[in-house]
Structure 1
Amino acid sequence: MFITSLFRQHLAALRALLVLTVVTGAAYPLAVWGLAQIPGLRDKADGSIIDVSGRPVGSELIGQPFVDANGSPLRQYFQSRPSYAGTGYDPTNSGAGNLGPESIVDTPGDPVKLDHGAKPADAGFKPSLLTTVCANSFAIGELESVDGRRPYCTANGVGAVLSLIGPRDARGNVTRPIRVVSVNEPCSSDPRKPTATFIAAWAGVKVECARYGEDYAAGQIIPVRGDAPAISPIPPDAITASGSGLDPDISSAYARLQVSRIASARSITTQQVLGVLADNTHNRTLGFLGEPTVNVLQANLELDRKYPVRS
């Protein structure tokens, strides 16, 4: 009798497995797929792929870089915002940088490897959020011929941060430092290439470059504001990534910043580029959520269609 009861239990479990496999493993997915093929939904269900002459060039929903083989921005195109998704806009590796406002000190790279041509990441270099913002702003400033300086950034685009080493007062502040180190400006391993720090002295003490392998966390870490203007012409989305790293849109402000460069690269007027911009600007969701945005891929495709680059 025990064997018969056990057999019935296993038979019931097998029947449940078969039924659920058919319903959830076949019938439900097929029903969802069938609904997705309804006109008006099919393009979205297939990834909102954009074709040009029968060749897929991208998706309306996933951003992509517009750079040359060396990773340099192509001057004739609108540029997307930065991305942390894999090596950039990788839909299988979506994600953010996960760095917060207290991320102001870089993890230095091995200077020997750097001097021998290694990429910073391969040498162990990990930029802080502050240096990432500074570097991006510096690069955008050069590309768009605007002032890329930002508060708490050095002139060459790294975080302006000092470590004050010395006795502390009751509040934990170093009042009379005996050493001051610019923690994000590493010394070169080549003595013939001395590093000039962003500030020569602090409280009468000469500022040193950071030496690889030394730990300056015991000092008082302070960011230095500098003389950069409080308001930058470079909007935030030009220098920071979205939460997913896949954002296909940029702000209208960032798009307008790029108009003069694109017009010059394509030998057209800024008004013509602004016309393309207007065609590809999407208003606020429901009329009040968020800000107007520009789909980068669609705008660049219209530029190529209307104003191709002359060789």
Structure 2
Amino acid sequence: MERLPSWIRQHLAALRALAVLTAVLGVAYPLVTTGVAQAVLPAKAGGSLVEKDGRVVGSALIGQSFTDAAGVPIGKYFQSRPSAAGDGYDPLASAASNLGPEDVLDTLPAAGQEGRQSLLTRVCARSKAVGELEGVSGARPYCTPDGVGAVLKVFPAVGTPVRAVSVNQACPAQPFLAVYQGVRVECGRPGEDYTAGRTVPVRGTAGTPAVPADAVTASGSGLDPHISVAYAELQAPRVARERGLAAGRVRDLIGEHTTGRALGFMGRPAVNVLELNLALDRG
């Protein structure tokens, strides 16, 4: 019997390898790992779904918003941390904003053009909003009172300043600083090019912020279902007031839904927002 040509033998060997690897890695391995997961950690393997009145309302592993149709926080619920995953907490778009600490300059909206908020302004705006919601100061370093990044563009870039612009405050806004090194500070004008100036973030006089960091920054995945104990305690008076509950009862529920450090030493204790809100609904 004649041997098959070498190119045919090579293709047949490749097909056999494909069939074996598909059976092992595409069928057997997923079935085994799924079976082990279902046997050892059935709840987590099933997505850690949380039910209320027989209806799935979320997952203990994925955050969600507690706002009305207009995006306004619902007062009787604890609020989650911000999310940069899609429109918020989208498992199919899990991602961070990829903006870093040097992202401090906004692009002011001009006629027919959309603007862009820097990471600094996003943090400042969130801090201001949380402060107003919780009845505390939303002030923090490098933020203006109106909730944008406190950043100047100074001209010339080197030498004695002759011009200073609060680039994140669009005219006719009142600049957060009247004078910088003897030069009157101007408001920012949409469409004007300030790239030639020196960027000068201004720390201001704000001390330690009353609003915790996790209330104004998104997690790396955008899906974090937890908030810090500090953020939960900040929200507790509002939730107690809205529900007509004793503040001590709300704090007890926070404690009951606080998880410890991972493996006993990594990270910080955290509060699962969905589970805490469901516990409040149960009374």
**What are structure 1's unaligned runs of at least 5 residues?**
114-122, 188-193, 307-311
- 1:181 aligned partner: 165
* Equivalent residue letter for 1:227: T
**Alpha-carbon contact 2:128-2:138 (below 8 Å) kept:** yes
- 1:11 aligned partner: 12
* Equivalent residue letter for 2:10: Q
Q: What does the per-residue CA deviation read over 1:10-62, in whole Å, with 9 as the maximum and x for residues that have no partner?
A: 33222222222222222222222222321x42211111111112211111111
* Equivalent residue letter for 2:240: A
- 1:86 aligned partner: 86
- 1:275 aligned partner: 252
Report the aligned-residue RMSD.
1.7
How high is the TM-score relative to the length of structure 1? 0.86
Residue 209 (1) aligns with residue 199 (2)? no
- 1:255 aligned partner: 232
Taking the TM superposition and a 5 Å limit, the aligned residue runs for 1:63-142 are: 63-110=63-110, 112=111, 123-142=113-132
* Equivalent residue letter for 2:92: T
**What are structure 2's unaligned runs of at least 5 residues?**
none
What SS is found at the alignment partner of 2:152?
strand
Q: What does the per-residue CA deviation read over 1:43-101, in whole Å, with 9 as the maximum and x for residues that have no partner?
A: 11111111112211111111111111110111101111111111111111111121222
Deviation at 1:226, TM superposition (A): 1.9
Residue 239 (1) aligns with residue 239 (2)? no
Q: What does the per-residue CA deviation read over 1:263-297, in whole Å, with 9 as the maximum and x for residues that have no partner?
A: 11101110111111111011122322221110000
Q: What does the per-residue CA deviation read over 1:235-265, in whole Å, with 9 as the maximum and x for residues that have no partner?
A: 1111111111111111111100001000111
Residue 299 (1) aligns with residue 276 (2)? yes
**Alpha-carbon contact 2:236-2:247 (below 8 Å) kept:** yes
From 159, 176, 200, give the equivalent of 2:178: 200
Residue 32 (1) aligns with residue 10 (2)? no
What SS is found at the alignment partner of 2:196?
coil
* Equivalent residue letter for 1:155: P
Distance 2:48 2:174 in 1: 50
Distance 1:19 1:280 in 2: 47
- 1:53 aligned partner: 53
Taking the TM superposition and a 5 Å limit, the aligned residue runs for 1:214-233 are: 214-229=192-207, 231-233=208-210
How high is the TM-score relative to the length of structure 2? 0.94
**Alpha-carbon contact 2:62-2:224 (below 8 Å) kept:** yes
Identify if the C-alpha distance between structure 1 residues 152 and 9 changes in structure 2 by more than 3 Å, giving closer, same or farther. Answer: closer
What SS is found at the alignment partner of 1:258?
helix
Deviation at 1:198, TM superposition (A): 1.4
What SS is found at the alignment partner of 1:158?
coil
Distance 1:36 1:291 in 2: 27
- 2:241 aligned partner: 264
Q: What does the per-residue CA deviation read over 1:157-213, in whole Å, with 9 as the maximum and x for residues that have no partner?
A: 1011111113x6xxx3x32x22211100112xxxxxx32221223233322111121
* Equivalent residue letter for 1:242: S
**Alpha-carbon contact 2:108-2:189 (below 8 Å) kept:** no
Moved over 6 A (4+): none
Q: Which range moved further: 208-217 or 290-299?
A: 208-217
* Equivalent residue letter for 2:204: G
Deviation at 1:130, TM superposition (A): 1.3
* Equivalent residue letter for 1:217: T
Distance 2:28 2:65 in 1: 39
Deviation at 1:2, TM superposition (A): 7.8
**Alpha-carbon contact 2:155-2:196 (below 8 Å) kept:** yes
**Alpha-carbon contact 2:240-2:247 (below 8 Å) kept:** yes
What SS is found at the alignment partner of 1:37?
helix
Quote the sequence identity (%).
Answer: 56
- 2:135 aligned partner: 145
